[in-house]
Structure 1
Amino acid sequence: RRSGSNRDLDSASEFEMSDIFYFARRGVESIMDDEVTKRFSAEELESWNLLTRSNNNFHYISLRLTVLWGLGLLIRYGFLLPLRLKNFLSEKVHLMCYRICVRALTAIITYHDSENKPKNGGICVANHTSPIDVIILASDGCYAMVGQIHGGLMGVIQRSMVKACPHVWFERSEVKDRHLVAKRLSDHVEDKSKLPILIFPEGTCINNTSVMMFKKGSFEIGATVYPVAIKYDPRFGDAFWNSSKFGMVNYLLRMMSSWAIVCSVWYLPPMSREEGEDAVQFANRVKAAIARQGGLVDLFSLQKNRIFL
């Protein structure tokens, strides 16, 4: 105020300390409700989802809501958490056990093109030489397996495996069971959180010189197929299992007393049914790709060529 003014200094002043409160409050509100900063914290829910950690200002509301919260706590920590831990530990323990088996057989395995490894919700198909095909593949990744129920030692192993992972075992002689298996396979591949299914479409062990006809059942589901070619080197040990000549225990003794089990595994690019292609044609196309990559004889193509010749 200029000294020449006639106004009284004791009159109402032009500025008071309380005048800044409005602007300070708006500034603090802008900082707290910043559109960028709040993106780095948990989203504020309009309604409580019965998780204590999502409502830090939780206060007792009603007995009914408290009971619901207690039931949710019991389900989450008493059922869901152990189940998820079981799945996690099952995969880790399976890999460890299969790798121990591989070392017990003195197996020397070379994996090629690992970027094509089977993904969840898909079907892995491979040529079949021996029961240890499962160990060879499962030591590099976890699978849900489909196969025939066996007796003896093999049956004991199968019953133990199914307790930790949802494998599908069935009797081939029962037609109704095969339809049930097809239904279970479809349900399995539709769930992308489940392990890929491992199937040997030949249905029997072949001596690793050729690939026999693939059964079309696993190719009718419509899922993505991940072909795998397995080729053994017989110079160090013959991995072929002649089930009509040797039992499982005898066969394992032969394998463990050989020099080594040397093999190569190729993960081929995933394949799907083409437009207008039926299940048989799709199976033959996958089989031809496996035979070509593994250096095996495709018996279907050989027979077809002989017919035309």
Structure 2
Amino acid sequence: TVLWGLGVVIRYGFLLPLRLTLAITGVSLLVVFTTMIGFLPNGRVKNFLSEKVHLMCYRICVRALTAIITYHHSENKPKNGGICVANHTSPIDIIILASDGCYAMVGQIHGGLMGLIQKSMVKACPHIWFERSEVKDRVVNWLLIWYYVCFMCVSYNLSSGTCINNTSVMMFKKGSFEIGSTVYPVAIKYDPRFGDAFWNSSKFGMVNYLLRMMSSWAIVCSVWYLPPMSRQEGEDAVQFANRVKAAIARQGGLVDLLWDGGLKRGKVKDTFKEEQQKLYSKILVGTQEDRSRS
């Protein structure tokens, strides 16, 4: 009890105020500097300043979380013009990856504090924010990613689409795998003993979530840069996406699932239910056959 009370005093009385100061500093600098850089004409100077500002601010934010990160196989880090694909646990995945290299991001549009940060970031770098439910947005975003990757040599960072509790990897959308660019898989695994990084967006808002992160002891994680992968001859986008997903799950010690992460927000399709029923019926039939043989 004494140790627990001492831990509470240290985390909330000392670490939390210090981390809040660092977080406010990092976010404020990111918003101000990216907005200022947005007024510069497109060119090498703007790209150089944008990269340095993003790296500086992300590294400040990493320190605000007391993130202890171990990077493995850095020789496989994404190069210009490729697509980085990673499993997704929380928004801090971006901070962890971007503190080790500069990426353009692809992600869901948010409101509130997250939305403010997104609007400022896109002024300095060709990030792509979209509304997940809009089909028109997905088509436009596919064209934008294809253009920037193929002609502007921009490295994009993509994730599995929705936050998963770091025990499994769910369905990757096929759109980004249809471009034909080299894919750089990245596996991220958090150690929940010191702080749970999972963001349950239906239960906690962004500010509430960040306060929970900053009041934990630390965010400990390992990042593996896997060898780059390309689409094989005769392989469609879905098969390619599943192959990349399987490699990430295998390296991170995660369960490879075929489920769509969007199921936690929407109604389950009847076709998906029927597919699971067929699989379950096969298991039952197989069990009965084994019993009859014995």
Give the TM-score category using the shorter length: 0.7 to 0.9
* 1:77-97 CA-partner distances (Å, limit 9, x unpaired): xx87x8322211111111111
Aligned-partner SS, 1:300: coil
Query: In structure 1, what is the equivalent of residue 226 of structure 2?
Result: 268
Gaps of 5+ in 1: 1-78
Alignment of 1:114-193 (within 5 A): 114-191=74-151, 193=152
Q: Does 1:240 align with 2:198?
A: yes
Q: Does 1:107 align with 2:67?
A: yes
Q: Does 1:90 align with 2:90?
A: no
Deviation at 1:243, TM superposition (A): 0.1
Q: 2:213 aligns with which of 232, 250, 255?
A: 255
Counterpart code for 2:162? T
Preserved contact between residue 82 and residue 153 of structure 2 (Cα < 8 Å): no
Preserved contact between residue 142 and residue 195 of structure 1 (Cα < 8 Å): no
- Between Structure 1 and Structure 2, whose CA radius of gyration is higher? 1
- Once residues 281 and 198 of structure 2 are traced to their aligned partners in structure 1, the CA distance between those partners, rounded to angstroms, is 29
Deviation at 1:305, TM superposition (A): 8.7
Q: Specify which structure has the bigger relative contact order, considering alpha-carbon pairs within 8 angstroms and separated by 6 or more residues.
A: 2
Runs of 4+ in 1 over 4 A off after TM superposition: 303-309
* 1:7-49 CA-partner distances (Å, limit 9, x unpaired): xxxxxxxxxxxxxxxxxxxxxxxxxxxxxxxxxxxxxxxxxxx
Deviation at 1:252, TM superposition (A): 0.4
The Cα RMSD (Å) is 1.9
- Once residues 307 and 267 of structure 1 are traced to their aligned partners in structure 2, the CA distance between those partners, rounded to angstroms, is 39
- Once residues 169 and 281 of structure 2 are traced to their aligned partners in structure 1, the CA distance between those partners, rounded to angstroms, is 18
Query: In structure 2, what is the equivalent of residue 53 of structure 1?
Result: none
Q: Does 1:297 align with 2:250?
A: no
- Once residues 135 and 127 of structure 1 are traced to their aligned partners in structure 2, the CA distance between those partners, rounded to angstroms, is 14
Query: In structure 2, what is the equivalent of residue 205 of structure 1?
Result: 163
Query: In structure 2, what is the equivalent of residue 69 of structure 1?
Result: none
TM-score (norm: length of structure 1): 0.70
Gaps of 5+ in 2: 1-39, 260-275, 284-294
* 1:39-86 CA-partner distances (Å, limit 9, x unpaired): xxxxxxxxxxxxxxxxxxxxxxxxxxxxxxxxxxxxxxxx87x83222
Q: 2:178 aligns with which of 220, 234, 243?
A: 220
Alignment of 1:68-79 (within 5 A): none
The alpha-carbon distance between structure 1 residues 101 and 306, as it changes in their structure 2 partners (threshold 3 A), is farther
Whichever structure has more helix as a proportion of its residues is 2
* 1:92-134 CA-partner distances (Å, limit 9, x unpaired): 1111110000000000000000000001110000000000000
TM-score (norm: length of structure 2): 0.74
